[in-house]
């Protein structure tokens, strides 16, 4: 029997750690995989995460930080980048370097377009140009229901306007 303090499958998310924050990443480790989507809706996300978890455990690593960035490359595919706690020998290992700005949104995924528009406007007022944008869906639908909040982080590699 699970205690009340245990999480279902997604750890609780603290938005204060990610809202309106600028991070400088130097060789931050991620492992990349792909998720099939249907008009941007993930179809096999859980299966891909379980596959990655198995791969990481076999190499003595984990994604304890629980950062999982999504890059919607088309209506039919989403690349995901899951943060690692240590380097492993794998061709899908990626390193993120540079300045990354994040802003947290809460609500139904149908508002994603509004959030992206707001984020783009907001980053401009902060003096940033967006180089590459990612979405971080912090919890699965089941855990969002359990926690009573559905947070999404928009995070992008940015450069200061010149």
Positive or negative: CA dihedral 143, 37, 154, 50: positive
Element (H, E) at 160: strand 151-160
Domain edges within the chain: 27-160
Percent residues over pLDDT 90 in the chain: 69
Q: How far is residue 64 from each of residues 9, 122, 158, measured CA to CA in Å?
A: 12, 30, 25
- CATH architecture designation of domain 27-160: Alpha-Beta Barrel (3.20)
Q: Which two tokens stand for residue 121?
A: 């406007």
Placement of tokens 């003595």 in the chain: 60
Per-residue pLDDT tens over the stretch 104-120: 999 988 899 999 999 99
Q: Is the pLDDT of residue 6 over 70?
A: no
């Amino acid at each position: 029997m699970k205690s009340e303090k245990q999480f279902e499958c997604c750890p609780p998310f603290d938005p204060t750690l990610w809202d309106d924050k600028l991070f400088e990443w130097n060789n931050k480790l991620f492992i990349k995989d792909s998720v099939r989507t249907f008009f941007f809706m993930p179809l096999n996300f859980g299966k891909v995460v379980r596959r990655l978890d198995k791969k990481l455990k076999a190499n003595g690593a984990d994604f304890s930080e629980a950062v999982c960035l999504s890059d919607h490359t088309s209506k039919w595919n989403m690349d995901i980048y899951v943060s690692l706690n240590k380097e492993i020998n794998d061709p899908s290992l990626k390193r993120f370097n540079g300045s990354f700005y994040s802003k947290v949104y809460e609500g139904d995924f149908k508002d994603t377009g509004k959030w992206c528009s707001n984020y783009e406007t907001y980053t401009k007022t902060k003096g940033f140009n967006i180089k590459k944008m990612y979405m971080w869906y912090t919890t699965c639908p089941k855990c969002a229901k359990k926690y009573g909040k559905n947070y999404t982080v928009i995070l992008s590699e940015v450069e200061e306007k010149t």
